[in-house]
Amino acid sequence: MNKELEHLIETNKIAVEYFQQELLKSDTALEYLQKRSINKETIELFKLGYAPEDSRYEWTLSNRLIFPFFDIYGNPCGFVGRALSNEDDPKYRNSKESPIFQKGRMLYGLFQSQYEVEKLEYVILVEGQFDVISLFQAEIMNVVGLGGSSFTLDQARLACRYVDKIVTIFDPDTAGKKVAEKASILLQQMDIKVKNIELPESEDPDSFVLKNGKEGILKLISND
């Protein structure tokens, strides 16, 4: 690894620690996570953080919940910030791209899930960070996220390094249906077995698993 990449990773490691410390100081951010039913163990596992208004890192992510993106070795590559209010627009913002962070070439949660993915020999593909985190917290740990409602060839190739079977569980809205169709076509062209799970209207993987638990998700997957 060259010095530029090492410097970027070391800078991001410091930023991760900073955002984690700031989260512990923010009652608003902690209350938000509590409302989303995210526990302390999950917060630590995914190293969630918070960027305050006067953040010294990534000012474009200020006043947002921070999701670090890690490579498969656990190096922090970049960040996504989620607004604490649904009224804020845009809801999500990304840190700027760099030689180590192109979100369209990464799968959120792969670092945490890779061993379970290999063990179970299939991966569950969802859209958002909260979808990944909530399923993982429910002990469904072979799950990764797109980090949005688009699916790229690079993400498909990354998933295919681990498995030849993928289960997609996307939101039942227009964007979710489009990405499900694209993923199915792209993965089938790569000789990957694909199963698309359709959720009830107004649900997403996050809300569904909170209501129905691990058993509810596994039942959907096992149904033909």
Phi-psi region of 4 (alpha: psi -120 to 50; beta: other; left: phi over 0): alpha
Residue 43 to residue 27: CA distance in whole angstroms: 14
Distance CA 33, CA 37 (A): 6
Structural domains of the chain sorted by starting position, each given as residue range(s) with its CATH number in brackets: 3-101 (3.90.980.10), 110-222 (3.40.1360.10)
pLDDT score for 53: 84
Looking up tokens 């804020």, which residue turns up?
Answer: 88
Given this model, what pLDDT does residue 104 score?
93
CA dist 116 and 218 (Å) reads 15
Please report the pLDDT score of residue 224 as a whole number.
Answer: 56
Averages of pLDDT over each 10 residues, the chain, 224 residues: 91 95 96 97 98 76 95 96 87 93 96 96 96 97 93 94 95 92 92 94 95 96 81
Q: What residue type is assigned to position 3 of the chain? A: K
d(CA 6, CA 14): 13
Q: Which of 36, 210, 40 has the alpha carbon at shortest distance from 135?
A: 210
C-alpha torsion sign, points 74, 67, 183, 124: positive
CA separation, residue 220 to residues 32, 115, 184, 212 (Å): 29, 23, 18, 11
* C-alpha pair distances (Å), 18 with each of 34, 141, 222: 21, 27, 42
Cα→Cα distances 72→76, 106, 172, Å: 10, 9, 29
| Sheet arrangement for strand 64-70 | 49-51, 64-70, 76-83, 92-94
Residue with tokens 């979710």: 176
Say what the pLDDT of residue 210 is.
96
